[in-house]
């Protein structure tokens, strides 16, 4: 690839990162706290593209004054590069024009639960119903045996997944860094579960703690149950991933 093509690819990649970082698109790739790094990386790539163009033009002018035509045609930078190298631009255009979907039920049912024991169980507010993340509820239900959840109505939001025997799970994918390391945390649903369930539908579920639990069929990890009293379809959140497991 010649310098011109390299500059174009650098510029488009930088523009893609700036576009993602100034919109919510970056949330499909990395955790929310990495937004400043995405913006900085985009700016650096654009600056590198501009510097490359400037350097090449300056070198071309210098050589034009000090070398004859035959010498210039022997220089590697004047050799014609295959035009197919410009096809490298297509994935970058796809990144700009097409927003990839967040990981959903397909990934969740093929990956074992990533539930980890919390470092602590902070006191819960007196709200009724109590809004909790899927990760927080699952951690308290499994490792604290629901001690902070007894006699409390809780409200969770996640997307639906169905295990091979049809058990409905409310799921959130958790991130350490980026979507490439996303893993699911699952809560099994019982009680007043909607009779028709469509995988990847986002639900806001209200219910109560139950000591019942099961094992994840993928890795044998613990999956707690929630006794559902109300379930309402909701729009997918702006940030579809849950980062609370490592905070």
Q: Is the pLDDT of residue 162 over 80?
A: yes
HSE (side-chain half, CA atoms, 13 Å) at 26 = 22
Residues 126, 68 share a domain: no
Domain co-membership, 81 together with 118: no
The domain boundary residue, chosen from 72, 97, 122: 97
Same-domain check for residues 35 and 155: no
pLDDT of 210 above 50: yes
Asked whether residue 39 falls in the same domain as residue 122, the answer is no
Per-residue pLDDT averaged across 72-77, rounded?
51
The span from the CA of 85 to the CA of 135, in Å, is 45
Same domain, 120 and 73: no
For 173-194, letters b (16+ CB in 10 Å) and e give bbbeeebeebbbbbbbbeeebb
In this structure, the answer to whether residues 145 and 91 fall within a common structural domain is no
pLDDT at 50: 80
DSSP 194: -
Average pLDDT over every residue of 62-68: 65
Domain boundary, last residue among 63, 97, 131: 97
Kindly state whether residues 34 and 61 are assigned to the same domain: yes
pLDDT confidence of residue 246: 44
Q: How many domains does the chain have?
A: 2
pLDDT at 247: 41
Domain boundary pick from 97, 115, 142: 97
pLDDT digits (tens, 9 = 90+) for 115-138: 989 888 999 999 999 999 999 999
37-41, 48-52, 87-91, 194-198: which is most confident:
194-198
Mean pLDDT for the chain overall: 80
Domain span at residue 233?
105-246
Do residues 41 and 133 share a domain?
no
pLDDT at residue 65, as a whole number? 62
Asked if residue 213 and residue 112 are part of one domain, the reply reads yes
Please tell me the predicted confidence (pLDDT) of residue 23.
Answer: 73
pLDDT at 214: 94
- Provide the CATH number for the domain around residue 182: 2.40.50
Q: Select from 148, 169, 155, 158 the least CA-distant residue to 229.
A: 155
pLDDT confidence of 81, banded at 50, 70, 90?
low
The predicted pLDDT at position 244 comes to 55
pLDDT digits (tens, 9 = 90+) for 14-46: 777 776 777 766 666 666 666 777 788 778 877
Question: Quick one: 233 and 144 in the same domain?
Answer: yes
Looking at the fold, whether 59 and 142 belong to one and the same domain comes out as: no
Span 50-57, average pLDDT: 78
Per-residue confidence at 139, pLDDT binned at 50, 70, 90? very high
Q: Do 109 and 225 reside in the same domain of the chain? A: yes
């Amino acid at each position: 690839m010649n310098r011109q093509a390299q500059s174009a690819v650098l510029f488009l990649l930088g523009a893609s990162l700036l576009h993602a970082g100034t919109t919510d698109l970056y949330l499909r790739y990395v955790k929310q706290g990495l937004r400043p790094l995405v913006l900085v990386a985009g700016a650096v790539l654009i600056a590198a593209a501009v510097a490359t163009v400037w350097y090449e033009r300056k070198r071309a002018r210098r050589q034009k004054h000090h070398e004859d035509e035959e010498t210039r045609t022997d220089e590697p930078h004047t050799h014609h590069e295959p035009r197919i190298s410009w096809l490298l631009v297509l994935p970058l255009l796809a990144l700009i024009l097409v927003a990839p979907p967040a990981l959903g039920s397909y990934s969740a049912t093929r990956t074992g639960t990533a539930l980890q024991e919390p470092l602590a169980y902070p006191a819960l507010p007196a709200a009724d119903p109590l809004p909790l993340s899927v990760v927080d509820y699952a951690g308290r239900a499994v490792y604290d045996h629901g001690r902070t959840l007894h006699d409390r109505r809780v409200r969770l939001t996640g997307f639906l997944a169905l295990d091979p025997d049809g058990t409905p799970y409310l799921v959130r994918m958790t991130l350490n860094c980026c979507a490439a390391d996303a893993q699911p945390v699952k809560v099994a649903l019982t009680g007043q579960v909607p009779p028709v369930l469509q995988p990847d539908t986002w639900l806001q579920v209200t219910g109560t703690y139950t000591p019942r639990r099961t094992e994840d069929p993928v890795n044998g990890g613990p999956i707690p149950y929630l006794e559902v009293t109300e379930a309402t379809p909701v729009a997918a959140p702006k940030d579809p991933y849950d980062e609370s497991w490592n905070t």
